[in-house]
């Protein structure tokens, strides 16, 4: 048996610059990060970093470049870096977004790109906030299946129509972009916040779940759904495109129709 | 050094569910529903009011003491104006109440602002209701035919 293999027939010689495999565009950006180092300084301050980045880079890559090559003290959360874990929600150019889903080429390079921590939660360091109040209200809506019937031997059946009612709210990754974009939450930390209501919605409208009434009762609280002023900040901030304000409105209607 | 970070909702931070507090009723829901219903009613009442006062008859120039006296001689307009007064006052008060709840950060500020708001509302509602029901067109010097 010969070790010499013939050239594959599919191989085509391309002239340089042909076929889309060209050089990735390069540009200079100013990354303006809101720093807060409780060990050394009393107040938060802005720090600028001049970086040369590529057209395929995201804001997260710019933060990595700063942390790995320039200033190792820069602190931020990120886990999967692919828009699924929900760790790196931050305020980029004044809007809540995931750093790992925001391409630098889509932002304006003529001005500094501002990056700060999400608002309304206690700031711990640089871009890291204490997420405990957020998860506390998440836990309060009981984000798990409650079923009083017998344990089925196979899966619990559900029609496509029944699933469609809450399909949108199953997409939540708990990044807190919605809750920390809500002006009501900024001034009133007691408000449950959009994310908790979205996750309650996911079970309230699930035909397999039996604790919908209990969740509606929880959200009928003084700090529940009626605090919502429908400013749509949450819908705009959601990196998964969940219609958050619509979900809150559906929960409001469910509480109303249950009470009347 | 301001490294100390205040928890924003320290009353609620607790690993357990604080679900027992359900006895507070549905005031917020009723208030929310009232805002929608009174809003719809006010659109009809206010535009009806504006139309009869400004468009029908002599228009805005014809509004004087006699015009108002003539309107309040009719019980329909008395109750129209009464409904408008009560709904507008309660709708507005509830709106300002939610704004105070949204923007006042200290509990003491909240209590004071809401106290002033409620006192003002009660005074205006009582005063306005009294004016509508105890209105007497025959004050000194009035020459409309009904007073002769």
Chain B within 8 Å of A232 (Cβ-Cβ)? no
Tokens of A14: 């391309």
3-class DSSP state for residue A34? strand
Locate the DSSP E strands across A85-212: 89-92, 95-98, 113-116, 123-125, 128-129
What confidence score (pLDDT) does residue B114 get? 96
- Give the dihedral of Cα atoms A39, A44, A50, A53; nearest 10 deg: 90
What confidence score (pLDDT) does residue A187 get? 84
Q: How many CA atoms lie within 13 A of A69 on its CB side?
A: 11
Q: Assess whether pLDDT exceeds 50 at residue A124.
A: yes
Q: Answer yes or no: do B101 and A255 touch at CB < 8 A.
A: no
Per CB-CB distance under 8 Å, the chain A contacts of B3 are 38-39, 42
Locus of tokens 């079923």: A147
The ipTM is 0.77
* Residues B53, B49: Cα–Cα separation, whole Å: 6
Q: Which residue of A has its CA nearest to B98?
A: A227
What confidence score (pLDDT) does residue B10 get? 47
With bands split at pLDDT 50, 70 and 90, how would you rate the model's confidence at B78? very high
With bands split at pLDDT 50, 70 and 90, how would you rate the model's confidence at B146? low
Closest residue by Cα to residue A57 from A78, A28, A35, A34: A28
**All residues at 6 or more sequence positions from A143 whose CB lies less than 8 Å from its CB, including other chains:** A199, A200, A202, A203
Q: What is the mean pLDDT of residues A138-167?
A: 92
pLDDT in tens, A200-218: 999 999 999 999 999 999 8
Q: What is the mean pLDDT of residues B68-83?
A: 91
Answer whether A77's CB lies under 8 Å from A67's CB: no
What confidence score (pLDDT) does residue B11 get? 47
Q: Which residue of A has its CA nearest to B5?
A: A122
Lowest mean pLDDT among A38-42, A64-68, B128-132: A38-42
pLDDT in tens, A93-117: 999 999 999 999 999 999 999 999 9
What confidence score (pLDDT) does residue B12 get? 42
* Residues A62, A50: Cα–Cα separation, whole Å: 10
Which of B6, B8, B94 to mutate against chain A (most A CBs within 10 Å)?
A: B8
pLDDT in tens, A158-179: 999 999 999 999 999 999 999 9
Q: Which residue of B has its CA nearest to A251?
A: B29
Which burial class, exposed, middle or buried, applies to A22 when counting CB atoms under 10 A from its CB (0-12, 13-18, 19+)? exposed
What confidence score (pLDDT) does residue A76 get? 97
pLDDT in tens, A80-89: 999 999 999 9
Instruction: State pTM to two decimals.
Output: 0.83
Q: How many CA atoms lie within 13 A of A94 on its CB side?
A: 3
pLDDT in tens, B24-72: 678 999 999 999 999 999 999 999 999 988 888 777 888 888 888 888 8
Query: How many CB contacts within 8 angstroms connect chain A with chain B?
Result: 76
**All residues at 6 or more sequence positions from B7 whose CB lies less than 8 Å from its CB, including other chains:** A122, A130, A133, A189, B13
């Amino acid at each position: 048996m010969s070790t010499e293999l013939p050239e594959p027939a599919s191989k085509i010689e391309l002239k340089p610059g042909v076929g889309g495999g060209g050089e990735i565009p390069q540009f200079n950006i100013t990354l303006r990060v809101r720093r807060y180092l409780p060990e050394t300084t009393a107040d938060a301050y802005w720090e600028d970093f001049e970086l040369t980045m590529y057209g395929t880079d995201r804001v997260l890559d710019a933060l990595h470049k700063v942390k790995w090559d320039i200033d190792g003290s820069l602190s931020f959360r990120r886990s999967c870096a692919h828009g699924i874990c929900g760790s790196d929600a931050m305020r980029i150019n004044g809007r809540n977004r995931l750093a790992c889903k925001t391409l630098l080429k889509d932002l304006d390079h003529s001005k500094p790109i501002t990056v700060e921590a999400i608002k309304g939660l206690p700031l711990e360091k640089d871009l890291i906030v204490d997420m405990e109040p957020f998860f506390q209200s998440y836990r309060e809506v009981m984000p798990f299946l409650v079923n009083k019937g017998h344990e089925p031997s196979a899966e619990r059946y559900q029609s496509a129509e029944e699933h469609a009612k809450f399909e949108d709210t199953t997409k939540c990754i708990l990044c807190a972009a919605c809750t920390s974009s809500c002006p009501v939450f900024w001034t009133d930390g007691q408000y449950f916040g959009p994310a908790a209501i979205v996750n309650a919605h996911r079970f309230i409208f699930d035909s397999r779940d039996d604790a919908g009434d209990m969740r509606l009762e929880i959200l009928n609280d003084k700090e529940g759904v009626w605090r919502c002023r429908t400013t749509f900040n949450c819908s705009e901030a959601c990196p998964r495109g969940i219609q958050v304000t619509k979900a809150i409105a559906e929960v409001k209607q469910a509480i109303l129709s249950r009470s009347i | 050094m301001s490294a100390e970070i205040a928890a924003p909702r320290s009353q609620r931070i607790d690993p357990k569910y604080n679900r027992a507090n359900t006895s507070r009723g549905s005031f917020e829901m009723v208030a929310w529903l009232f805002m929608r219903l009174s809003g719809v009613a006010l659109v009809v009442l206010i535009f009806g009011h504006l139309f009869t006062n400004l468009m029908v008859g002599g228009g805005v120039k014809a509004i004087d003491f006699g015009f108002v006296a003539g309107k309040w001689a009719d019980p329909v307009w008395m109750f129209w104006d009464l409904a408008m007064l009560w709904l507008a006052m309660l709708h507005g008060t509830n709106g300002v109440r939610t704004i105070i709840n949204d923007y006042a950060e200290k509990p003491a500020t909240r209590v004071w602002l809401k106290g002033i708001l409620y006192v003002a509302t009660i005074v205006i509602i009582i005063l306005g209701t009294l004016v509508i029901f105890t209105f007497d067109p025959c004050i000194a010097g009035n020459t409309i035919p009904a007073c002769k």
